[in-house]
Homo-oligomer: A and B are copies of this chain.
Amino acid sequence: MSEWIYFFDLWGTAVFALTGALAAGHHRMDPFGVLVLAGVTAVGGGSIRDALLGTTPVFWLQDPTYILIVLATVIATIIFNRTSPNAPWYVLPIADALGLALFTIIGTEKALSLGLSSISAVIMGVLTGVGGGIIRDVLCRQVPMVLRTEIYATASIVGGIAYCICLSTALDHFTSMCIAMLSAFGIRLAAIKWHLSLPAFDLKR
């Protein structure tokens, strides 16, 4: 992978670790609990992806940078929580949307590079993007947010499909990635701004 993808991957890791650390704070966990929640949110989706693909040892075991990023994020979160003024409310969702878009494309690309079909690759992309958040919510004993609320996974699905379509045309990898990432990112931002949701599936009584 080229260097800038790697950089964005680490960025996504830090953002997802932050959302996990904040969730741990809401449940008054001890520092180890904060670390675990930050860690599973950041690398949980990619770990399941690698275990299902068989690309083991999973990515963060081969490159400890990811773990160091999680560690640094947790320490920074605990320190800044007490000392800094609150960031504007929209900083976290926007950073999270960027992480979602990046992780989706990275997961999709990894599956495609192993020669899997497009449909499998899109699922691996979504798993990479939303898997960590699902484990985080399960450990906090909540029905995973992503299964119920605003368009989130849908943005990931669209991004993965867009990437596969772009690749099947004459577009090169770089352009395809940018288009796919922007579509996932844009859809998620629009969902945040206008509170877009898909209609819930309601059983006939």
Residues of A at the B interface (CB closer than 8 Å) are 21-22, 24-34, 36-37, 47, 50-54, 56-58, 60-62, 64, 67-68, 78, 81-82, 111, 114, 116-117, 119-120, 123-124, 134, 138-144, 146-149, 152-154, 157, 197-204
Contact = CB atoms under 8 A, between A and B. Distances in A.
Contact of A57 (B54, B146, B157, B202): B54
A58 B136 CA distance: 24
Given A51-B51, A114-B57, A30 B148 contact: yes
Contacts of A54: 54, 56-57
Contact of A31 (B27, B33, B201): B201
Contacts of A120: 57, 60-61, 64, 67
Contacts of A123: 67
A203 B119 contact: no
A163 to B, nearest CB: 17
Nearest to A64: B119
Contact of A147 (B32, B124, B147, B200): B32
A116 B61 contact: yes
A10 B149 CA distance: 31
Nearest to A26: B203
B139 A30 contact: no
Nearest to A143: B141
A7 B200 CA distance: 32
A32 B153 contact: yes
